[in-house]
Amino acid sequence: MTRGLAIVGHGKMGRLIEQLAPEYGFDIRLMLNSSTNAHGAGLSGENLRGVDAAVEFSTPSAVLQNIRRLAALGIPVVAGTTGWFQQLPCARAAVQSGGGALVWSPNFSVGVYRFRQIIAQAASAFAAEHEYEAWGWEIHHAAKRDAPSGTLLAVAQEMKQAGFERAINLSANRAGAHPGTHEIGFDSSADTITIRHTARSREGFARGALRAARWILGKSGVFEFREIVNELG
């Protein structure tokens, strides 16, 4: 059975999601960009007729309003936009008060999720090895606005939660068209250990978001992608 999908943000990610959506059983019913959705005006009940879920990859200044409008209209949302997570409590309140559903993440790549699991294990192991210092580094294309990436910040926090309490030196580069590399390293006078994830394209993010969009149908609540990744079909 085909389901209706709205693509909110028809940029690099939105266009890829449009291309891959049929593989996941979705038919695109609505696509919005900055001019067709100024101040959320494109998210009307009429425009959303036949839409079962929305995938939101827009900009930090627009995402909260988009989630609020979609939640008010009962449309479950997969939100991939980054750089706005300090406002997550407002999104959570809007979604929960309407009994809606939201899956959010700074990174919808299943490969990155597994990378994060490995980093947490490494951080726990190196916590007891006091001669090792740690760093985190990432590079993305020049148009990515937030730096360091939400993913690198999350990884550093997970390392602390895993018991690595020493400082983690973080840095970021923005250049060219790079789809994204994240690296964590542990360094001592004797040796260096590096663990690196390199995205080959945006495809992994788009496929993860579409799997989340299939999962969210019929659900209610607010979930981070990593909480549901083991349940994805």
* Interacting residues toward ligand NAP by CB under 6 A: 8-14, 32-35, 37, 57-59, 62, 66, 80-83, 105-108, 143-144, 202, 205
Beta carbon of residue 164, minimum distance to ligand NAP (angstroms, whole number): 25
**Which lies closer to ligand NAP via its Cβ, residue 91 or residue 134?**
91
Helices 88-97 and 60-72: crossing angle in degrees, nearest 10, is: 10
User: 10 Å Cβ neighbour count for 44?
Assistant: 12
Beta carbon of residue 165, minimum distance to ligand NAP (angstroms, whole number): 28
115-151 b/e (C-beta count within 10 Å ≥ 16 → b): bbeebbebbeebbeeeebebbbbbbbeeebebbbbbb
Beta carbon of residue 56, minimum distance to ligand NAP (angstroms, whole number): 8
DSSP 33: -
Sequence-distant (6+) residues with CB within 8 A of 133 are: 166, 167, 169, 186, 187, 188
| Residue 194: strand, helix, or coil | strand
Beta carbon of residue 74, minimum distance to ligand NAP (angstroms, whole number): 19
**Which lies closer to ligand NAP via its Cβ, residue 29 or residue 193?**
29
| Distance between CA atoms of residues 170 and 190, nearest Å | 22
User: 10 Å Cβ neighbour count for 87?
Assistant: 12
Beta carbon of residue 182, minimum distance to ligand NAP (angstroms, whole number): 12
Beta carbon of residue 75, minimum distance to ligand NAP (angstroms, whole number): 14
**Which lies closer to ligand NAP via its Cβ, residue 14 or residue 185?**
14
The residue whose Cβ lies closest to ligand NAP is: 11
Is the peptide bond prior to 22 cis by the omega test (within 30 degrees of 0)?
no
**Which lies closer to ligand NAP via its Cβ, residue 107 or residue 122?**
107
User: Which neighbouring-strand residues pair with 32?
Assistant: 8
**Which lies closer to ligand NAP via its Cβ, residue 82 or residue 137?**
82
**Which lies closer to ligand NAP via its Cβ, residue 105 or residue 137?**
105
